Structure 1
Amino acid sequence: MTFSRIAGTGSYLPPRRVTNDELAAELAQRGIETSDEWIVERTGIRARHFAAPEVTSSELAEHASRHAIEAAGLQPTDIDLIIVATSTPDMVFPSSACILQAKLGIVGCPAFDVQAVCSGFVYALTVADSMIKAGAARRALVVGAEVFSRILDFNDRTTCVLFGDGAGAVVLEASEKPGILATDLHADGRHVGVLCVPGSVSGGKVLGEPLLRMDGQAVFKLAVGVLEASARATLAKANCTEADIDWLIPHQANIRIMQSTARKLKLPLDKLVVTVDQHGNTSAASIPLALDAAVRGGRVKRGDKLMLEGVGGGFTWGAVLLQY
């Protein structure tokens, strides 16, 4: 039987790092009051990275992808499947995956985007795992890349302080040994309005409001419940228990949501990988960014069991249990 396993990880953050104090000073010029203390207390975020105006998601993705491919000991031409999870693509079409494919000098393999917002990387990893198990690919490049700073309303302090830009990537390859042990995906479109960017393009004009809108309290209540349920469902599929989890690597949205999920799974907080304090919420990029940080920092080692989970607009959520 063919399985899939992570052969390499990579990540990339734009050079511009914006601390809470710097962001607060910029917002003050707009008449918006906030502070480092206010942001940290509610979110755990201390800084985030913003891409330069001309930088696209595919550019961030290229840097992260090259790091992941190098870590796997491969060349870009060894890749035969590219999936990019993003809610901030370079353009309406073609996909950012096709643009990334060209930048990497890869020709002919399937390349497409997945749009599940902050759950996007979990969705993309699940799709790649299924394609490898089905024999449709041998080495997949799975990327989460976002420039969320482009869709933020900097007159709304409840949302603009939360998000940042970045990209993370993994190379997933066919293996005789199990890597991805189980996955669990869900969506509930009844909650579209709690987290969305209600805008579109028609006749050369922007219709609606192309800026992020979020009901924070509704998202918090939904997130804590579904993340626990999805993690438990994934463990059950793999015949594992909470005690088998070496590291919990959740979507980096809010430290309170992350810690609450860890407690519900009876995991000590020192098994929780946290990068939200330095990256902010990078949507589909947050899980692979955190994974790469933990791998390169020496915390995650070969053989460790990792629980990845995310929740985002749609309303989408899901989890992946894997042995690194």
Structure 2
Amino acid sequence: MITFENVTKQFVDGTTAVDNMNFSIEKGEFFVLIGPSGCGKTTTLKMMNRLIPLSTGTIFIDNKRISDYNINELRWNIGYVLQQIALFPHMTIEENIAIVPEMKKWNNDQIKQRTYELLHMVGLDPDTYRQRKPSELSGGQQQRIGVIRALAADPDIILMDEPFSALDPISREKLQEDIIDLQKKINKTIVFVTHDIQEALKLADRICIMKEGNIVQLGTPNDILTHPANDFVRDFVGSSNKIGTAFQLEDIVQPIDTQEPKPAFTIDASATLEEVLEMLSKEETLHVTSEGKTVGRVNRQMIVHYFSSSLKEGRREYV
């Protein structure tokens, strides 16, 4: 879907923001770029839609050089969500959502139908919200509008540059859950920049950890947690020891939601954290069994919460 071949970005002051980068993002993948400030993650993102020109190398989308696309064609097919939200304050919510569809010459009925569909998708009643101005919405609601505005013209790719970092912790966690649910419905290729490793672990299919314009490690959350490439990754993830014995799966399981589809995999309550992570790379939710009986369920978000709690409490019983 998206391929970087020997891509370098050097600014006029001589700063090399991205240094000979090579990687590919698969269609429908939730791909997270993460690293400390100044590592080049936002520059990498912005080169994908030509907001920042690359210096050398080639970026391909669907096997076509991005330089060969008409700039409007390229950007119409790439939704973009910013940290600053950037809704037009003088426009209604419906008018904000309609910007790109109008540029693409959609008719009014198509735009109205799409607006209703997207507002429903993020739990905002269209009749209540579509005629409101951004100032009448909370920060979390505004960011939801920012997300669905990027989806309005049904692009194949969504770029998200630290979209939740300015929100309070409760709104941020809710929007993380929303984007997970939304991705199940829309199955877009999402490239997401964050500086928060817990957010990356929660959302990503794969994580690309960067440092000084280079890729330090690229892999699944399971790869990053169980096989950190070096001390930088260990420190960045907040872990320095191998998986310890303090982890008890039964301590974090939750009751089974009878409305959920039955997962394809089960796991024994005696499983190690590494075994749980390996299984969760194949299935969103696992049923946990003990002595042949189902005792609850576990999913990736519960494991991320476990890591987050461990970090806050200063425990070191994980990778």
Give the TM-score normalised by the residue count of structure 1. 0.24
Q: Which has the higher contact order (CA 8 A, sep 6+)?
A: 1
Structure label with greater radius of gyration: 2
Give the TM-score normalised by the residue count of structure 2. 0.24
